[in-house]
Amino acid sequence: MKWLLLLSLVALSECFYKVPLFRKKSLRRNLKEHGLLDDFLKTHHLNPASKYFPKEASSLLDTQALENYLDVEYFGTIGIGTPAQEFTVIFDTGSSNLWVPSTYCSSLACTNHNRFNPDDSSTYRSTSETVSITYGTGSMTGILGYDTVQVGGISDTNQIFGLSETEPGSFLYYSPFDGILGLAYPSISSSDATPVFDNIWDQGLVSQDLFSVYLSSYEEGGSVVIFGGIDSSYYTGSLNWVPVSYEGYWQITLDSVSINGESVACSDTCQAIIDTGTSLLAGPTTAIANIQEYLGLGDSSEEEVSCSTADSLPNIVFTINGVQYPVSPSSYIVEEDQSCVVGLEGMDLDTYSGELWILGDVFIRQYYTVFDRANNQVGLAAVA
């Protein structure tokens, strides 16, 4: 039920407090060199886990800085325990659990990441509960515990989280982050663990039952998650509000997908998920193939293309709740390792509502997004 994306990873590039001054080898390149890229690209969106306020007017909000890792993932640093042990985590609106590697884990993927040590925290409380989450690119199993989680300037006490005991496979080994902090609805949380934002809201640590996200491009930096508020300096015009169609993922209804005024997919509405944990624009295989054929790109989602290709291509327009949201070619043609790839990914997901799209970071980089739990709606506005 989730194609998280944690490993939105390879599709292209993502974030932190400062943009590095040097180019890192991309995850795509790293996986390719180890013969893992093809399998990753085929499966990296699947995760069958069981399951206004203007800033100046709100007294309780907090900003969490994110690092953009090559426009592929966005992650930030949190602390767990007393004293706090630091971890980098994906702030993922496509999943609901918080988990990090632990000292109980002997998997290869844990050996090169920070591991939580319960013995070093005076506020840790153990449980007998277990947690298991399966991703298309791997999985984790572990135990659940409670401790204080520092998110930005918020001290989230008595927060349940997963301590991994196993992280099989190679993909998590190569990931530049330690764990995942899910920001979707509680209904899809594995083991019914209370998500971080729900716990923060229940403790009255933010004034508004919402959070908002600004994802910058790699060259600019400054990506953030704002808990409990909206900052109008990040967008232009007005926020357009879209009802959540299913309270699991941040799922909404798409009216259509068009290019040059011509419908190319989703002609009779379809469902979409707004997912910070997925780097690409993803949709049904046939629909993505039609779009790439229309654009003259062929089946090139896994192949490099000339970066100058973007100069001659049109916008892909997503119409949502009667409002058009164009995604420019400079956004869906993504640069990596001094070359470019197409930021579109075909995948077929079985859902109760049929055809499903994922509006990942390629889309969110163009639209400041508000995730409003109080009113079960999403706010979208063009970034400033």
Strand partners, 369: 213, 380
Structure tokens at 271: 């469902």
Q: Is 72 helix (H, G, I), strand (E, B) or coil?
A: coil
Which is catalytic among the residues 71, 92, 156, 361? 92
3-state secondary structure of 1: coil
Phi and psi for 49 in degrees, rounded to 5?
Answer: -65, 140
Going from the C-alpha of 194 to that of each of 72, 99, 187, 298, the distances in angstroms are: 27, 12, 9, 44
Q: Is 92 a catalytic residue?
A: yes
To 5 degrees, how large is the angle CA 42–CA 67–CA 349? Answer: 25
C-alpha distances in Å from residue 374, one per residue of 59, 135, 214, 328: 17, 29, 20, 32
Among positive and negative, which fits the CA dihedral 71, 108, 33, 280? negative
**One-letter amino acid for residue 370 of the chain:** V
Distance CA 180, CA 171 (A): 14
If DSSP codes are grouped into helix, strand and coil, which group holds residue 233?
helix
Per the annotation, the verdict on 275 as an active-site residue is yes
- Catalytic option among 156, 178, 275, 372: 275
Instruction: Tell me phi and psi for residue 71, to 5 degrees.
Output: 65, 15
148: CB partners within 8 A, 6+ apart:
80, 81, 82, 84, 123, 155, 156, 157, 158, 159
Which amino acids are annotated catalytic?
A: 92, 275
